[in-house]
């Protein structure tokens, strides 16, 4: 039994390197024990640096793309599952496009989970202004991802927020972008971030863009599951919006039409010409 220890930061590259080595040395999947971030492995497994990969090794490109996502899944079995499939796909590359292979389907599902988690991270991270002393504005966010998606998703934030410094803190990994350089460090517990006045404005927007005449709560929660709400400033308004929606919608219907303000007739007459009904403004 061989034990391969993978690091929390840089997991994808380390797994790939290890898997290439094991595969070149012909180590069978059942003889590998994968551990991650110093987790206790099997006491009887021999800790070993993975064997050096042979340079000629090739695998289907589609597998690499999939593996690069699956390694970030929270399932502790992810590395073993990937290697087990890699072992088979090396002999039969067509397996990669087969439908109905249980091992592949499981991996595809995990890939989807990670993609969805990354997508929600791009959507739901909320920065707070830290105030700046230098020319670059500084922002920070606390986020709770379901999978280990901070590292693979951070480049998105560097492309988007290129002219500011920012940090995204999670229990898992912390991503930091300063002076145009991205770096990762160990996760942290939730920091105390300063109040940000923009959140009240954003809440106002959220309350008013909602149309109480068309409540569809299921459509909201399927796309924005409740687990994300506590870190989104606008979500605190949701219960109140739902509670009052029906009454507000009814009131709009019940309100008797009002008389137009006096100036209206003047404006309209100027536009249409007295009694002509012309349509050109």
**216 near another protein (CB under 8 A):** yes
Are the C-beta atoms of 233 and 127 separated by less than 8 Å? no
Are the C-beta atoms of 35 and 2 separated by less than 8 Å? no
Are the C-beta atoms of 172 and 148 separated by less than 8 Å? yes
**92 near another protein (CB under 8 A):** no
**176 near another protein (CB under 8 A):** no
**241 near another protein (CB under 8 A):** yes
Sole window of 6-14, 50-58, 183-191, 213-221 interacting with another protein (rule: CB under 8 A): 213-221
Answer for which of 1, 13, 62, 201 binds another protein (CB under 8 A) is 201
Residue 253 has a CB neighbour count (10 Å cut-off) of 7
For residues 26 and 214, which CB has a smaller minimum distance to another protein in the complex? 214
Are the C-beta atoms of 179 and 14 separated by less than 8 Å? no
Q: CB 242 → another protein: shortest distance, Å? A: 5
**123 near another protein (CB under 8 A):** yes
The tokens describing 158, both together, are 């560097």
Element (H, E) at 175: strand 173-178
d(CA 227, CA 221): 10
**163 near another protein (CB under 8 A):** yes
**194 near another protein (CB under 8 A):** no
Answer for which of 141, 154, 169, 175 binds another protein (CB under 8 A) is 141
**227 near another protein (CB under 8 A):** no
Answer for which of 209, 247, 274, 275 binds another protein (CB under 8 A) is 209
Q: What letter would DSSP give residue 211?
A: -
Residue with tokens 């109040």: 195
């Amino acid at each position: 039994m061989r034990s391969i220890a993978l690091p929390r930061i840089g997991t994808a590259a380390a797994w790939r390197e290890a898997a290439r080595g094991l595969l070149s040395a012909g180590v069978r999947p059942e003889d590998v024990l994968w551990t991650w971030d110093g987790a206790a492995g099997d006491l009887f497994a021999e800790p070993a640096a993975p064997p050096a990969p042979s340079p000629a090794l090739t695998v289907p490109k589609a597998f690499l793309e999939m593996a690069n996502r699956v390694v970030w899944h929270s399932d502790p079995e992810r590395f073993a599952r990937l290697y087990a499939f890699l072992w088979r796909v090396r002999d039969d590359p067509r397996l990669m496009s087969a439908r109905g292979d249980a091992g592949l389907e499981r991996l595809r599902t995990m890939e989807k989970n990670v993609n969805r988690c990354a997508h929600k991270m791009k959507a739901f991270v909320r920065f707070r202004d830290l105030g700046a002393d230098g020319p670059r504005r500084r922002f920070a966010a606390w986020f709770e991802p379901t999978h280990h998606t901070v590292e693979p998703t951070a480049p998105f934030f560097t492309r988007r927020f290129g002219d500011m410094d920012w940090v995204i803190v999670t229990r898992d990994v912390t991503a930091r972008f300063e002076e145009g350089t991205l770096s990762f460090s160990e996760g942290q517990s939730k920091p105390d971030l300063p109040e940000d006045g923009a959140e009240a404005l954003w809440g106002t927007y959220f309350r008013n863009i909602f149309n109480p005449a068309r409540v569809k709560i299921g459509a909201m929660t399927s796309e924005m599951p409740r687990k994300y709400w506590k870190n989104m400033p606008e979500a605190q308004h949701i219960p109140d919006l739902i509670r009052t929606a029906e009454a507000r919608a009814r009131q709009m219907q019940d309100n008797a039409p009002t008389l137009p303000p006096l100036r209206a007739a003047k404006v309209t007459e100027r536009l249409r010409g007295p009694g002509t009904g012309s349509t050109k403004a």
